[in-house]
Amino acid sequence: MKRIVVFCGSSSGTDPVFEARAYETGKVLAQQGIGLVYGGARVGLMGAVADGALAHGGEVIGVLPRFLSGKEIGHAGLTDLIVVDTMHERKTKMHELSDGVIGLPGGFGTMEEVFEMVTWGQLGLHRKPVGVLNVDGFYNDLSELLETMAVKGFLKRENQRMLLFADTIEELLEKMRSYQAPATPKWITKETT
In a domain, 187, yes or no: no
Q: What is the DSSP string of 123-135?
A: TTS----EEEE-G
In a domain, 119, yes or no: yes
Q: What is the pLDDT of residues 171-182, one digit of tens each?
A: 999 999 999 998
Average pLDDT over residues 14-32: 98
Average pLDDT over residues 133-148: 98
Q: How confident is the model at residue 191 (pLDDT cuts 50, 70, 90)?
A: low
Q: Looking at the 3D structure of the chain, how many domains does it have?
A: 1
Rounded to whole angstroms, the Cα distance separating 131 from 109 reads: 16
pLDDT at 71: 65
What is the rounded average pLDDT for all residues in the chain?
Answer: 93
Average pLDDT over residues 102-109: 97
Return the CATH number at 128. Answer: 3.40.50.450
pLDDT at 72: 54
Domain with 133 in it: 3-177
pTM over 0.85: yes
Q: What is the pLDDT of residues 30-45, one digit of tens each?
A: 999 999 999 999 999 9
Average pLDDT over residues 69-77: 76
In a domain, 145, yes or no: yes
Question: How far, rounded to the nearest angstrom, does the alpha carbon of residue 139 sit from its chain's CA centroid?
Answer: 13
